[in-house]
Amino acid sequence: MSSDTVTLTIDGNEVQVPRGATVLQACESIGVEIPTLCTDPRLKPYGACRMCVVEVQPGPPRPTASCTTPAGDGMTVVTNSQSIRDIRKHVIELQLQHHPLDCPYCDQAGTCELQDEVFDQEIHQSPYETVPKAHPEEILNEVILLNHNRCILCGRCVRICDEQIGVRALDFVERSVGTFIAPAQHDFMDCERCGMCIETCPVGALLSRPFKHSARSWQTEKAASTCPHCSVGCSILVESRHGEVVRTRSNGLEEPDRGILCAKGFFGHSFVNSDDRITQPMVRRGGVLWPVSWRAALDAITAGLRGVLETHGPRAVGVVGSPNTTNEDNYTLQRFARAVLGTNNVYSQDSGLHATARTLRAVLGSEVGPHTQSELLESDLILVVGADIGHTHNVVGAHIKQAARDAGRLLVVATRLASGLDDFATISARVRPGGEAAFLSALADAANDVTEQGTGIDAGAFDEISQMVGAAGSVAVVWDTGVWTLGKADKIAQAAANLALARDGVKLFPLAERANSVGTFRVGMAPDLLPGARPLADAEARREIGDAWGVELSEEPGLPFAEFVEGPMRALYVMGEDVVGGAANPSGVSAALREADLVVAQDIFMNATTEVADVVLPGATFAEKGGHYSNFEGRLGRLEPAIPPVGDARPDWEIVARIAAAIGADFGWRSHEPISEELASLSVAPSISGSGQAVSVNGADLPTVNGDRLVLATEQHLYTAGVAGRHAPSLTLMLPDAVAELNPDDAERLQIAHGDRVHVASAGGEVNLKAMVARRVPSGVVSLPDRFLEAAPRQLDPRSPDGTAVRVSKA
């Protein structure tokens, strides 16, 4: 018998389990069912409910909780004797003394674990006098509600908030029979609103306010899908009823989410059934968009495209894909552009991830592909640089916290704003916006002298970080490539690559901003890329893909987007993206689109691009179509349609394929599966050897901060999720307005109170926002959460808003 397993006897059956497993796990491994209430596979054993009691020999002469007892060699376990059954029945009967029998009103009925146990233990009447508690329901925050009467004090909410999320927003209050659950610090629970306490609650004590009383749990149709809000790609269960998505829940314990979600994943689905959705095709006639039939809209598009192709040629036509749509959608659009229209003017708007991926590929080569999250969490040292991962990629942030605390990983946090990760960090330091690349570059190269003026980090803290990184066996560098890297993503990527070149064991984890940013790169939504992110210049790749499509691909790469729009553009097809609102100069792009012969915007909500589009088509959201997202690891997250598309909306790939068919090139696709197969067969990873050259990135001196001159930081907030987030009522409740976050000291100096209107002005422009005094912002920085109003930070500096000097004054 090897020493890492133990053998025990359960109800007469011998079973071998790894050493350290609990008796409960041993029982489960051979299919012996033991009822539990306080057990959650995500949580450590706790032993609160005493439902899982068993008789253990040798052991204490009393029933023992199997969930907290480690399995030992030679143990004899009896799980189902009469006395054990009596104890379990008593436990439930005692719970029912206080638990109200309001199952017909309770949202949890049907998924309630207490209800299941009452049936399993065949309890029809309580032998005790029942004294239901009658506390009013307590509203903890915008989305979470607590009903004390139903609480069974299993502590799962308290533990999941602590162990998995690392927020510790809930705790037990008072003692003995007076114990209850309450927000740990305040009456108002100002937590991350991830909803995991609701998810784990075995009874109906913690409830989701947006979902409350909208459906019974057994009435909903369930579809296993993927969260559409960021590039972590958590698997979610979309529950719908009568064609309306009513809630999303976490689905399974697999990677990448490992069973937890964030506020966006749990509450951010309500945009799907928003009243603002585009529900039918529209064509602009006399300056006004008129609802028309699909036939009329497709006719208008084919006529327009044919006209432009005849008079101006394929160079005047371009298509824009989107990281909000699936790989299949983007692939269909790309094949339409390259094979049918004959143009290489193929774009997507996620410049941060594209620039990062290109730089890393050029320096390190293509074999250093995306790494998995397990590799990230198994590194000896995790270095988080730049934006606060707790906000941009909350679930990865939660896993990092857990790895730092439970697995003993060193965690170095060098973010610009104070982060939830700080509490778990070995060292945390504040980088000034604009100094991130210089900081990374200096870490790579000891000779590169770091100055406080260049990075914002004082020399002492830098030396400590530098020593730790030098001593660690393996290092994971994690940074968000979201909007804050605008105009400097390649610099940061180069600096990170320097670190990877300087020493062994460094793995880079650029986290993409949106659900399918990585997908748009891999599918090749760029003027000089092909499916599989193979370079267009590669003749072999062109031939292979051209053969598969039955055409000869043009080797002339498309123009960069800005040049294309200002130059030869006569027709533009935009899928799921706001090219005007997201542009460096919105008015210029808007004017160019007005001038163009044909602009088609296919989207789920009206935006600045649909304002100027000639044809507007209703696209489908994640809940209405099949397909795949590629997350930051490159893992494919599957979408499953949960509801039929609202109104006349159609899946995006289908619309593009129909237009292609109308022009005369029917791809023959009737579902998304053949597209996935074709894409997979063409996605041959290119072999590109990196230059291997470290290029020192010297940070220019950061702008000085004094008086009302502050540095601008723009990163995504936890409660913002782009256009979709603005149409999701449950998310807009959490953060109703676009805000400028200020440090309390700065606010006091500038005499700005919480909630005041403020002017934020730069050399380039100014915006007017609501001020929010927040401790997470360090002194000298003003933070504008982006992806709320896409245009706001860009009005201050169109190219690289993050890190510019701004003046803040009370409006």
Partner 1 sequence: MPLGSGVMKGLKTMLMVTGRKPATVLYPEQLRDISYRFRGQVGMRRDEVTGGMTCVGCGLCETACPNDVIRVDTSENEDGTRFVDRYLFDVGRCVFCYFCIEACPVDALQRTHDFHLITDDRRGLLIDGEKMIEIYEHDQANREAEQKNIGPGAALANWFERG
Least distance (Å) between residue 258 CB and partner 1? 32
If one asks whether residue 119 binds partner 1 (CB under 8 A), the answer comes out as no
Please name every residue paired with 770 in a beta bridge, in sequence order, or none if there are none: 739, 757
Which of these segments, 1-9, 215-223, 459-467, 751-759, binds partner 1 (CB under 8 A)?
215-223
Q: Is 288 helix (H, G, I), strand (E, B) or coil?
A: strand
Pick between residue 74 and residue 644 the one whose CB is nearest to partner 1: 644
Least distance (Å) between residue 147 CB and partner 1? 9
Q: Check: CB of residue 128 under 8 Å from CB of residue 141.
A: no
Pick between residue 213 and residue 295 the one whose CB is nearest to partner 1: 213
Pick between residue 213 and residue 757 the one whose CB is nearest to partner 1: 213
Pick between residue 103 and residue 296 the one whose CB is nearest to partner 1: 103
Which of these segments, 98-106, 632-640, 699-707, 778-786, binds partner 1 (CB under 8 A)?
98-106
d(CA 264, CA 473): 35
CB burial class (10 A; 0-12, 13-18, 19+) of residue 47? middle
Using CA atoms of 321, 222, 396, 263 in order, give the dihedral in degrees to the nearest 10: 90
If one asks whether residue 218 binds partner 1 (CB under 8 A), the answer comes out as yes
Q: Residue 282: phi, psi to the nearest 5?
A: -135, 145
Q: Is 108 helix (H, G, I), strand (E, B) or coil?
A: coil
d(CA 695, CA 466): 19
Identify which of 172, 185, 181 has the alpha carbon closest to the alpha carbon of residue 133. Answer: 181
Pick between residue 146 and residue 496 the one whose CB is nearest to partner 1: 146
Q: Check: CB of residue 117 under 8 Å from CB of residue 37.
A: yes
Pick between residue 215 and residue 237 the one whose CB is nearest to partner 1: 215
Least distance (Å) between residue 105 CB and partner 1? 5
Which of these segments, 18-26, 102-110, 168-176, 568-576, binds partner 1 (CB under 8 A)?
102-110
Helix (H) / strand (E) element for 246: namely strand 244-250
Non-local (6+) Cβ contacts of 275 within 8 A are none
Handedness of CA 468, 470, 475, 479 (dihedral sign): positive
Q: Which of 93, 137, 538, 648 binds partner 1 (CB under 8 A)?
A: 137
If one asks whether residue 186 binds partner 1 (CB under 8 A), the answer comes out as no
If one asks whether residue 132 binds partner 1 (CB under 8 A), the answer comes out as no
Least distance (Å) between residue 213 CB and partner 1? 4
Q: Which two tokens stand for residue 494?
A: 């180069």
Which of these segments, 104-112, 117-125, 196-204, 684-692, binds partner 1 (CB under 8 A)?
104-112
Residue at token pair 């055409």: 551
If one asks whether residue 611 binds partner 1 (CB under 8 A), the answer comes out as no
Task: Please report, as residue ranges, which positions from 615 to 644 form the binding site for partner 1 (by CB under 8 A).
Answer: none
Least distance (Å) between residue 726 CB and partner 1? 23
Site string for partner 1, 548-567 (x = CB under 8 A): --------------------
Which of these segments, 64-72, 208-216, 338-346, 573-581, binds partner 1 (CB under 8 A)?
208-216
Pick between residue 110 and residue 535 the one whose CB is nearest to partner 1: 110
d(CA 755, CA 171): 30
Which of these segments, 32-40, 216-224, 736-744, 789-797, binds partner 1 (CB under 8 A)?
216-224
Q: Which of 81, 219, 693, 704 binds partner 1 (CB under 8 A)?
A: 219
Q: Which of 12, 31, 104, 664 binds partner 1 (CB under 8 A)?
A: 104
If one asks whether residue 214 binds partner 1 (CB under 8 A), the answer comes out as yes
Q: Which of 19, 85, 135, 212 binds partner 1 (CB under 8 A)?
A: 212
Least distance (Å) between residue 782 CB and partner 1? 38
How many residues bind partner 1 (CB under 8 A)? The answer is 16
Least distance (Å) between residue 192 CB and partner 1? 24
DSSP annotation string for 608-623: HHHHH-SEEEE---GG
d(CA 225, CA 245): 12
Which of these segments, 53-61, 101-109, 195-203, 534-542, binds partner 1 (CB under 8 A)?
101-109
Which of these segments, 163-171, 206-214, 344-352, 785-793, binds partner 1 (CB under 8 A)?
206-214
If one asks whether residue 135 binds partner 1 (CB under 8 A), the answer comes out as no
d(CA 802, CA 417): 13
d(CA 786, CA 795): 12
d(CA 631, CA 371): 11
Render the burial of 719-744: b for 16+ CB within 10 Å, e for the rest: bbbbbbbbbbebbbbbbeebbbbbbe
If one asks whether residue 242 binds partner 1 (CB under 8 A), the answer comes out as yes
Pick between residue 136 and residue 668 the one whose CB is nearest to partner 1: 136
Position 33, amino acid: E
Peptide bond into 63 cis (omega under 30): no
d(CA 653, CA 655): 5
Task: Please give the span between the terminal C-alpha atoms of the chain, in angstroms, as a whole number.
Answer: 76
d(CA 488, CA 429): 21
If one asks whether residue 295 binds partner 1 (CB under 8 A), the answer comes out as no
Residues that bind partner 1 in the complex, under the rule CB under 8 A: 103-105, 109, 136-137, 145, 209, 212-216, 218-219, 242
